[in-house]
Amino acid sequence: MKKNGILYIAIILLILLTNNSFSFAMVSDIQNHWAKDDILYLMEKGYIQGYNDGTFKPNQNVTRGEFLKMVNNVYGFTEITPVPFIDVRKDDWYYTEVGKALAAGYVSGYTDGTIRPNRLITREEAAKIIATLQGMAKGWENIKLDFTDNNQIGDWAKDYVKAMKYQGYMKGYQDGSFRPKRQITRGETAKILADISRRNNWNSNTSTDGTQYLVQVGSYNNLEFAKKELQRLNQAGFNDAFIIEDDKYYVIAGRFSTEEEARIFKTIVASQGFDTFITTRSFVEGNLDKPVKPIYVVESINKTTKYKEFINLVDVLPNPKDIREVVASDMINLERAKKLYDNLSQEEKRKIPNTKVNKFKEVESKIESLKTPIVSNSKVSIAQAQAWAIRKGAHKRFIDVAPFYWEYGRITGINPEILYAQGAKETNFGRYTGQVKPEMNNWAGIRILEANGDSNYDYEIFSTPEDGVRAHFNHMGIYCGVDPIGEPHPRWYKTNTASWAGKIKYVEDLGGRWAPNPDYGISIIRDYVRHIYNTPVPVELDLKKALEFSQRIDDLEDDEFMIMDIMLEYNSLTENQKSLIPYNIKEKIDKIKFEPFKY
């Protein structure tokens, strides 16, 4: 009987703790694989996982459900929409991943009401998803593909494949083919998503003499391809674009003397469907002593007059009556339209129909009315925020730090749940799965004064958790114009010199400034704060019990008696207490159908 009991315990332990995660150093089958560095990069970030036998299986094909999960992880999608597909049940492991993909808007399913999550995904299907998410699916009509198997690429997929090829994400095989109908492998997927992650998360370092901040949209071995990309930029109204000739041909949309200016321009270029990132490159035009050749500038093609460009932007803005929430693409188009309009002469303004100007002003007013003030009163209690965090699987350190957020919110007037939600986004609810480590007490991803990259050495260390919270409020104070509490951290002094310092009044406007992604601030409200507001106010005892139980699961070891105690404790919890337990733990426990062990 005792053997059976131990075996039963082992099965329970497997169900409880198995989540396919382990140290990336244990992967045994990628040492000689061409995508090794990309696989390790994503595993270190926590975006992908290997198997329990210590392998990654890089040459294994990927199902549609698996692909959605990896994409959701890399892009950080968390919002879930109810899944209507007839082939997805709530107890399927991929239910939440399909729900996230639907909420993010990059899948829609088939006309027969299915999404076929267990079917292997093809290379052209993968190209469509990534090109759509990167906002680079349009504008390729006049660009030709040169793969040897072009005729095998579906007409619906050709623009997506063009985007992936010419942006460098899917270049094809050595024999010149693309193989669109071939199922994509785990290694190929890792390569694409690692490139996406590196570009989207790139953060430039401090400017030095002779260095400018360049907004780059692509690099090509072939000058003709670079010219075509330059032509696309010109047609989109970016008439100052140029090409740098070095080891490759680098297409640059614009250059700036400050990082902040470059970030703002980057979001504008990205809104027009270009894959963009910021880089620094030391050069002097015409100076052959520098490590790069002089800039090769191509004449602007098909220049669009500024007032017509304004009209075109207004046309793509939504009807003011249809606007229900703030969307990044609308904000970017609106910002660009405003900049254009403010710089028009009176003569140019007279050429614009009043209906266009009125629509522009109405959209501006509607979006502004939907934004969330950074300086505002809290709408929730500390316990309510802690209950939300516990339910999301937060680490105890993140639960414990909540009172500090509400205390500094009281002192500064900055809304505490906004910063607490941002801390959840930056630290993965205090689990610190990125470069910043728990002992650094850095809740906001604040960098050191002279950051040189994206290693943990580039991030500030604070002496205590409270000191890290104070620094978080001080840093946010730069944006919204609130004076610091105590002595600020070194990075504060640099960021405080930005031209926009003190002018960012709304959370939604943090995108492109606090972080390069234009959706950054919007996602804090959409994916975090709204869920805090929808969390019921808990009973103090229920909150305490749920936190203690969740922490015990975190600390669970391979001990049969400890497992028995935990299972018995779970059965003794009330339904309210169980409702506060993190969904991932509760789902695993609910599957066990536990009965007390008999010895």
Cβ-based neighbours of 166, under 8 Å, separated by 6 or more: 140, 143, 218, 220, 225, 228, 229
Q: Which two tokens stand for residue 274?
A: 């270009």
pLDDT of residue 25: 41
Instruction: Determine, yes or no, domain membership for 319.
Output: yes
Same domain, 395 and 525: yes
pLDDT of residue 70: 93
**CATH code of the domain covering residue 426:** 1.10.530.10
Same domain, 276 and 157: no
Distance (Å, whole) CA 251 – CA 214: 10
Domain finish residue from 370, 405, 423: 370
Domain finish residue from 296, 314, 342: 296
Same domain, 11 and 48: yes
Domain finish residue from 157, 174, 198: 198
pLDDT of residue 592: 41
Instruction: Determine, yes or no, domain membership for 253.
Output: yes
Same domain, 399 and 511: yes
Instruction: Determine, yes or no, domain membership for 598.
Output: no
Same domain, 223 and 182: no
Q: What is the three-class DSSP state of 295?
A: strand
pLDDT of residue 6: 41
Same domain, 360 and 456: no
Instruction: Determine, yes or no, domain membership for 597.
Output: no
Instruction: Determine, yes or no, domain membership for 175.
Output: yes
Q: What is the three-class DSSP state of 273?
A: coil
Distance (Å, whole) CA 147 – CA 177: 5
Same domain, 527 and 545: no
Same domain, 162 and 271: no
Distance (Å, whole) CA 150 – CA 322: 40
DSSP string for 516-529 = S-TTHHHHHIIIII
pLDDT of residue 264: 65
Q: Residues 507, 374: contact at Cβ < 8 Å?
A: yes
Same domain, 456 and 497: yes
The domain total for the chain is: 5
Would the pTM of this model clear 0.85, i.e. be above it? no
Instruction: Determine, yes or no, domain membership for 301.
Output: no
Same domain, 586 and 548: yes
- Residue range(s) defining the domain that contains residue 444: 382-533
Same domain, 350 and 398: no
pLDDT of residue 17: 39
**CATH code of the domain covering residue 237:** 3.30.70.1070
Instruction: Determine, yes or no, domain membership for 167.
Output: yes
Instruction: Determine, yes or no, domain membership for 376.
Output: no
pLDDT in tens, the chain (599 residues): 344 444 444 444 443 334 333 333 446 688 788 888 888 888 877 788 887 777 888 999 999 999 999 999 998 888 888 899 999 999 899 999 999 999 888 888 888 889 999 999 999 999 999 988 887 777 677 677 888 989 999 989 998 898 888 777 888 888 889 999 999 999 999 999 988 887 665 433 333 334 577 888 877 777 777 888 888 887 776 767 888 876 677 788 887 766 666 776 776 777 677 777 777 655 434 322 222 333 343 333 334 578 888 998 898 889 999 999 998 878 888 988 998 899 899 999 999 999 999 999 999 999 999 999 999 999 999 999 998 998 887 888 999 999 999 999 999 999 999 999 999 999 989 989 888 999 999 999 999 987 766 677 889 999 999 999 999 999 999 999 999 999 999 999 989 988 889 999 999 999 878 877 778 899 999 989 999 999 888 877 877 777 777 666 655 544 455 556 666 777 777 877 777 766 555 444 544 434 333 22
Same domain, 549 and 421: no
pLDDT of residue 24: 39
Cβ-based neighbours of 449, under 8 Å, separated by 6 or more: 490, 491, 493, 494
> Any idea what the Cα angle at residue 57 is, between residues 52 and 61, rounded to 5°?
120
